[in-house]
Structure 1
């Protein structure tokens, strides 16, 4: 089950029983290593982003590295839980996506430094909320926890990591700030691509098998024409209603959607059928993932994804 509403609590119980410290290996011979400063990220996505800020001063450890792992239902081992509880800084997605981290952090009384990416979405107005929660009588149903596709949020994470590392390691604070600024320039390159898509294809309807690339489509000013009943069911690990399947299939078979954004990490018979329908109708398929593909860093990954989307739409 891929539902972010059905979280595991085993990780929290495991974390509560951890008493032994787990030391992480830091590269180089700088003061962060000597001071025992450790940084842990929930997934290799946020691990790669944090590592870009840490540079050669620290080594960031990512709990989830395998492309097949699903952060929604991931259960940390006792050793992994210990890495999180003992870390000087924990960088994670939040919003219910990597709930195992929230559970582990909540099982201790330690005052740890953390960076929660979801809390930084839209300038931090969603701090403390889980995707879909109600606030002041308004339910944020349109809010999506896959915030690594939202470049402003990623830049906010980068700056927050720099601030936190600077507080932990004042001697290298300037280096962390410089690394963050350089990374921001690289992120701007991705925005340039999505801006070009918006300029050429604003309002163009596309379809998704899951709402993972929500923020990418939003930045490109594209219309996600997929029935919410379809994408929500797929994300939750359920079979969509026949009417939702038929409507989505028609979007592709009738070429109403100009591209299909396809999550290759959580395929099933229904999504595979949608891909086959798109290919039969010559609708381009844009592949996306939830964790870093092997051999790519975050900038390369997101640049490649944005370019693939642009090429798919330009081919129409």
Structure 2
């Protein structure tokens, strides 16, 4: 597969050629099997859709590797074709995966679109799930943490949103979708219970987060993020951390109040490495979080593993 970057116009042209190949019989694309075609921007949302839809859906997750950064990902013509043929598209939104919006625009797809950030009660205006207005929930909002898959409450609502869309697309299968969604939501409630247990024991404990990726989960555990905002913002944007901000961060770690340092396993830089080195030198546990679902995990097993890692670090 080519690694060259394609503009929206180029993607549209490439998609037209692929579609023409399908029409002429020159493509190996499978005929319609009656299942609902779902495209997810990342495998996090793809796995949730698979869990709810089961054998009634075909799910394509565009980003499946930790080596791919959704912020800067450049999709292929095959990704464009998948969106063009989709019945349902699930994106994160909030400026996290803007490539999806480009694919939707270029393809002219009539697919239903679910935007995960809109299920967050911290989204401006509150959680809003009506996508009838079209273009909303896509742009980055200053001060909003778009990494909502780490927010169990938002994900429980998203699960029901996915089920609702699938039911609209296939009403005869409503019972199957509802049963699966309810079972998954109950498991997410179990995650919230585990986080409440951590909060009961560790509420107010200080933690340092090099990026805001896991913040929803840490806040649900009652932990207090003491990271200088300028540090996390710079790392997330791929910018250099100002020397004064780095010095302030190092002094925080030397102060003895920070219980755990959390880092993004998929990105980093010299300043992050300095923070990790200082944490290890000071005997502070370092825990890694990822942005995509690890291989051989479900969303639930992944979150359970993350919560266990938080607890193990706090117990040290």
Q: Please list the CA deviations of residues 259-311 of structure 1 after superposition, one character each: whole Å capped at 9, or x if unmatched.
A: 00111110222111211111111111111000112222211111111111122
Structure 1 segment 241-280 matched on structure 2, within 5 A? 241-280=242-281
After TM superposition, give the deviation of residue 14 of structure 1 in Å. 3.6
SS of match in other structure, 1:71? coil
* Separation in 2, partners of 1:64, 1:310: 29
Aligned twin of 1:124? 127
Contact 1:48–1:297 (8 Å) recurs in 2: yes
Structure 2, unmatched stretches of 5+, are 23-27, 131-135
Q: Distance in 1 between matches of 2:261 and 2:307?
A: 13
Is the CA contact (8 Å cut-off) linking 1:14 and 1:77 kept in structure 2? no
The aligned residue for residue 305 of structure 1 is: 306
Give how far 1:250 is off.
1.6
Kept in 2: contact 1:209–1:271 (CA 8 A): yes
Give the direction of change, closer, same or farther, for the CA distance of 1:299–1:24 in structure 2 (3 Å limit): farther
Query: Over residues 191-228 of structure 1, what are the superposed CA-to-partner deviations in whole Å (9 max), with x where a residue is unaligned?
Result: 11211111111111100111111111221121110001
TM-score (norm 2): 0.87
Aligned counterpart, 1:58: 57
Shift of 1:177: 0.7
**Matched residue, 1:13:** 9
For the residues of structure 2 that align with 1:90 and 1:308, how far apart are their CA atoms?
32
Is the alpha carbon distance of 1:145 and 1:58 closer, same or farther for their aligned partners in structure 2, counting shifts above 3 Å?
same
Shift of 1:130: 5.1
What's the offset of the Cα at 1:254? 2.3
Q: Are 2:279 and 2:286, in contact at CA under 8 Å, matched by a contact in 1?
A: yes
Higher RCO (CA 8 Å, separation ≥ 6 residues): 1
Alpha-carbon deviation of 1:159? 0.8
Question: Counterpart of 1:63 in 2: which secondary structure?
Answer: strand
Residues 37 and 195 of structure 1: CA distance in aligned 2, closer, same or farther (over 3 Å): same
- Go from structure 1 to structure 2 and tell me whether the alpha carbon gap of 1:197 and 1:285 turns closer, same or farther (over 3 Å shift): same
Question: Aligned pair in 2 of structure 1 residues 244, 279: CA closer, same or farther (>3 Å)?
Answer: same
* C-alpha separation in 2, matches of 1:313 and 1:212: 19
The secondary structure found in structure 1 opposite 2:241 is coil
Aligned CA RMSD, in angstroms, stands at 2.1
Contact 1:92 1:116 in 2 (8 A): yes
Rounded to whole Å, the distance in 2 between the matches of 1:161 and 1:190 is 19
Q: Where does residue 100 of structure 2 map in the other structure? A: 101
Partner of 2:286: 285
| 8 Å Cα contact 1:131-1:144 kept in structure 2 | no
**More divergent stretch after superposition (12-21 vs 74-83):** 12-21
Alignment partners' CA distance in 1, 2:270 and 2:222: 30
1-side partners of 2:168 and 2:284: how far apart? 50
Take 2:191 and 2:198, find their aligned partners in 1: how far apart are those partners? Answer: 11
User: In the alignment, which residue of structure 1 is the partner of 2:154?
Assistant: 153
Give the 3 Å change call, closer, same or farther, for CA 199–294 of structure 1 in structure 2: same
For the structure 1 residues 185 and 260, does the alpha-carbon distance in structure 2 shift closer, same or farther, using more than 3 Å as the test?
same
- TM-score norm. by structure 1 comes to 0.87
Query: Aligned partners of 1:201, 1:47: CA distance in 2, in Å?
Result: 33
> Is 1:42 equivalent to 2:41 in the alignment?
yes
1:144-183 aligned within 5 A = 144-183=145-184
- Which SS does the other structure have where 1:293 is aligned? coil
Counting matched residue pairs gives 294
- C-alpha distance in structure 1 between counterparts of 2:248 and 2:128, whole Å: 34
**Corresponding residue of 1:5:** none
1:75 counterpart residue number: 74
Matches within 5 A, 1:209-224: 209-224=210-225
Judge conservation of contact 1:193–1:307 (CA < 8 Å) in 2.
no
What are the ranges of 5 or more consecutive residues in structure 1 without an aligned counterpart?
1-8, 27-32, 134-139
